[in-house]
């Protein structure tokens, strides 16, 4: 499985607006290729996965949402803190219906309000359970992909031991948190960070990588999303950036292509070429910063017509072609 042999939990994060949910979906599709079963789960209650896979809103149960090449299957789950609490109370305290009765009294909202870390334990705990579940001699899922919160809070979300240290030093909550921590801090987990070739996303990516490493949480790859190829040859970029493309060459090119050719059109194209060359230079500078992070880097193309299930297959193929899986 490429660079991620042995990884059971793939956590995907990124600055808001970078397309982390799309990348999480593409990764799940790529991991499922070749007959594997993959679960993708979301925790932010946005129903982003339902929109991505073009299926009805997801509930707190696993549903098949896509097929992958080679007979693979992708299942999806929307992890809800309230439902996870019911499951937790039934599993560890055998409350069953009594747990739901407590919910009617506002217990779940009260508990997660006074102890925000408990919510993260519940959410990550469901993903942890999915990585361990077995069907006979085999894991129920070959891999689990978690569409996690944005980079600004992903370390706090994943570092559940710290979250619950003030809640319980013994008992089921503590044991569950310790088990989750063992998984998240082990080579069985990889946190992948999604970015764009822009200043703020790259800076947040660098900060997230540093914070994850400081917390001893394994960092996987950096995925550069929405990459646009340069439209000018590399040798033309310096002149284009200075607005000094040869006027006669541009005019001749327009005429050869059978397009309207006039001084006004050429001037417009020269200005647009200068803007394009400037953007390309800025993106190259950001790409160098990403490379300096010392993590595997994969690039996904910008999909001009928006993301639909067909585009998701295209992005999954792009990850596979780069050796990501």
Q: Would strands 9-14 and 143-147 be described as parallel, antiparallel, or unpaired?
A: parallel
Calpha distance 43→80 (Å, rounded): 7
| CB-neighbour burial class of residue 114 (10 A; exposed 0-12, middle 13-18, buried 19+) | exposed
Indicate the SS3 state at residue 230.
Answer: coil
Place of tokens 């007959």: 35
Half-sphere CA count of 196, side-chain side, radius 13 A: 14
Calpha distance 269→247 (Å, rounded): 10
**pLDDT reported for residue 108:** 52
Contacts by 71-75 with C-beta closer than 8 Å and gap 24+? 71/34, 71/35, 72/32, 72/33, 72/34, 72/35, 72/36, 72/37, 72/38, 73/32, 73/36, 73/37, 73/38, 74/28, 74/29, 74/32, 74/38, 74/39, 74/40, 75/37, 75/38, 75/39, 75/40, 75/141
Token pair recorded at residue 113: 């309000």
**pLDDT reported for residue 161:** 65
**pLDDT reported for residue 105:** 46
Q: What is the mean pLDDT of the chain?
A: 85
Helical spans, DSSP H, in 139-262: 151-158, 160-164, 172-184, 199-214, 237-241, 247-256
On whether the CB atoms of residues 56 and 21 are closer than 8 A, the answer is no
- pLDDT of 55 > 50? The answer is yes
**pLDDT reported for residue 206:** 98
> Which of 223, 234, 226 lies closest to 281, judged by CA?
234
> Which of 6, 29, 14 lies closest to 318, judged by CA?
29
Lowest mean pLDDT among 95-99, 223-227, 263-267, 295-299: 95-99
Indicate the SS3 state at residue 111.
Answer: helix
- pLDDT of 94 > 60? The answer is no
**pLDDT reported for residue 98:** 47
**Binning pLDDT at 50, 70 and 90, where does residue 110 land?**
very low
- pLDDT of 172 > 90? The answer is no
> Which of 217, 224, 222 lies closest to 197, judged by CA?
224
Q: What is the DSSP string of 12-73?
A: EEE-TTS-HHHHHHHHHHHHHTTT-EEEEEE-SSS-HHHHHHT-SPP-SS-EEEEEETTTEE
> Which of 142, 177, 143, 185 lies closest to 160, judged by CA?
177
Is residue 134 within a helix (H) or strand (E), and if so which, with residue range? strand 134-135
Residue boundaries of the structural domains of the chain: 9-228+302-321, 230-287
- pLDDT of 315 > 70? The answer is yes
CATH number of 9-228+302-321: 3.40.50.300
Q: What is the mean pLDDT of residues 145-157?
A: 94
**Binning pLDDT at 50, 70 and 90, where does residue 80 land?**
confident
Calpha distance 14→27 (Å, rounded): 14
**pLDDT reported for residue 159:** 86
Q: What is the mean pLDDT of residues 219-231?
A: 92
pLDDT digits (tens, 9 = 90+) for 156-169: 899 876 655 555 55
- pLDDT of 115 > 80? The answer is no
pTM score, whole prediction = 0.85
pLDDT digits (tens, 9 = 90+) for 245-292: 777 777 788 788 888 888 888 788 878 877 777 788 899 999 999 999
**pLDDT reported for residue 325:** 87
């Amino acid at each position: 499985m490429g660079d991620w042999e042995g990884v059971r939990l793939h956590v995907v994060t990124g600055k808001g607006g970078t397309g982390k949910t799309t990348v999480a979906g593409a990764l799940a599709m790529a991991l499922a290729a070749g007959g594997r079963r993959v679960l993708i789960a979301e925790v932010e209650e946005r129903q982003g996965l339902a929109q991505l896979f073009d299926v009805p809103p997801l509930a707190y149960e696993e549903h098949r949402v896509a097929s992958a090449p080679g007979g693979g299957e992708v299942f999806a789950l929307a992890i809800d803190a309230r439902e996870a609490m019911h499951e937790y109370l039934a599993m560890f305290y055998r409350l069953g219906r009594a747990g739901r009765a407590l919910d009617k009294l506002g217990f779940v909202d009260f508990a997660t309000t006074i102890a925000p870390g408990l919510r993260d334990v519940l959410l990550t705990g469901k993903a942890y359970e999915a990585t361990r579940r077995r069907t006979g001699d085999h894991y129920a899922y070959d891999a689990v992909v978690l569409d996690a919160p944005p980079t600004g809070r992903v370390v706090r979300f994943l570092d559940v031991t710290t979250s619950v240290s003030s809640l319980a030093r013994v008992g089921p909550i503590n044991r569950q948190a310790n088990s989750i921590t063992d998984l998240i801090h082990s080579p069985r987990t990889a946190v992948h960070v999604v970015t764009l070739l822009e200043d703020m996303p790259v800076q947040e990516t660098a900060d997230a990588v540093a914070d994850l490493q400081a917390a001893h949480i394994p960092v996987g790859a950096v995925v550069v999303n929405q990459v646009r190829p340069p439209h000018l040859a590399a040798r033309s970029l310096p002149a284009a950036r200075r607005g000094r493309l040869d006027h006669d060459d541009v005019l001749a090119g327009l005429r050869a292509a059978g397009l309207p050719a006039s001084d006004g059109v050429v001037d417009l194209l020269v200005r647009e070429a200068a803007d394009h060359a400037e953007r390309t230079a800025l993106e190259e500078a950001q790409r160098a910063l990403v490379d300096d992070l010392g993590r595997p880097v994969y690039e996904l193309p910008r999909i001009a017509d928006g993301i639909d299930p067909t585009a998701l297959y295209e992005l999954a193929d792009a990850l596979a072609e780069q050796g990501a899986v």
